[in-house]
Amino acid sequence: MIKINTSHILPDVPYLLEGTESSDVLGLSPDAIPPLVPAGDITYRLSAVMAGADLVVTGSASVPILTSCARCLDDVRTVIAVRDLCFHFEKVRDLEVDLTDDVREELLLAIPSCFYCSPDCKGVCPSCGVNLNHGSCACASRPAEPEPDSAAPSPWDQLDALNLSAPKKAPAKKPAAKQSPAKKAPAKKPAAKKSSR
Ligand SMILES: [Zn+2]
Ligand SMILES: [Zn+2]
């Protein structure tokens, strides 16, 4: 248990509390998705001060865990860490305060929904299941289906042509229709007058 007896805290002097706590309190499960197996104890380093009759605790906590990569399913060993813990307890002068549940909750909230063995994990081949971080498979060298697709013009090409022509013609007709009668009308009249004289 992570406990602080506030009667031990001197006025204006931060009370340091550091140590380890069994990671069993986290209740992590290897059957979860992703699997979560503690690989060591919870380590905590806390600083407690009294503000009147209230207790303010800040600090950090961490726990190492074993899990698996979301892309390639390889084992991943990582550390769940919370560096900005802050707890406030009201009216606890001369009382023993148990911080275990608060630290436990913050660590559980800090667990990401998935883990990766590395940021550029290549994952597994979707066809044969080979881990592409450890080697390549024959699937990538096989000619797949792009050949028939590129040879035969598909109905998508005709749809693209229809969609492109519709917006181009509509704005081009309007200014052309307005300009042509305005220019033609004055051009014809002086031409007709000159020929008559
Ligand atoms: Zn991976
Ligand atoms: Zn493959």
Ligand at minimal distance from the CA of 122 is 1
CA of 142 from ligand 2 middle (Å) equals 10
CA of 20 from ligand 1 middle (Å) equals 30
Phi, then psi, of 122 in degrees rounded to 5: -85, -10
How much is the mean pLDDT over the chain? 83
Look at residue 188 and tell me if it is in a domain: no
Written as one letter, the residue type at 59 is: G
Look at residue 146 and tell me if it is in a domain: no
Q: Would you say residue 75 has pLDDT above 70?
A: yes
CA of 9 from ligand 1 middle (Å) equals 47
Percent of the chain clearing pLDDT 90 (strictly above): 63
Look at residue 139 and tell me if it is in a domain: no
| 47-61, 97-111, 134-148: range with lowest mean pLDDT | 134-148
For residue 141, the model assigns a pLDDT of 63
Written as one letter, the residue type at 36 is: L
CA of 7 from ligand 2 middle (Å) equals 65
For residue 69, the model assigns a pLDDT of 96
User: Structural domain of residue 39, as residue ranges?
Assistant: 3-121
For residue 158, the model assigns a pLDDT of 73
Average pLDDT over residues 48-67: 96
For residue 177, the model assigns a pLDDT of 47
Average pLDDT over residues 179-197: 46
Which tens digit of pLDDT belongs to each residue from 151-182? Answer: 666 767 777 777 665 555 555 444 544 444 44
CA of 123 from ligand 1 middle (Å) equals 5
Q: Would you say residue 86 has pLDDT above 80?
A: yes
Burial class (CB in 10 A: 0-12, 13-18, 19+), 28: buried
Which tens digit of pLDDT belongs to each residue from 114-136? Answer: 999 999 999 999 999 999 999 99
Look at residue 154 and tell me if it is in a domain: no
Look at residue 137 and tell me if it is in a domain: no
CA of 129 from ligand 2 middle (Å) equals 6
Look at residue 127 and tell me if it is in a domain: no
CA of 69 from ligand 2 middle (Å) equals 19
CA of 143 from ligand 2 middle (Å) equals 13
CA of 131 from ligand 2 middle (Å) equals 9
The total number of structural domains in the chain stands at: 1
CA of 78 from ligand 2 middle (Å) equals 29
Which tens digit of pLDDT belongs to each residue from 19-45? Answer: 999 999 999 989 988 899 999 999 999
Look at residue 101 and tell me if it is in a domain: yes
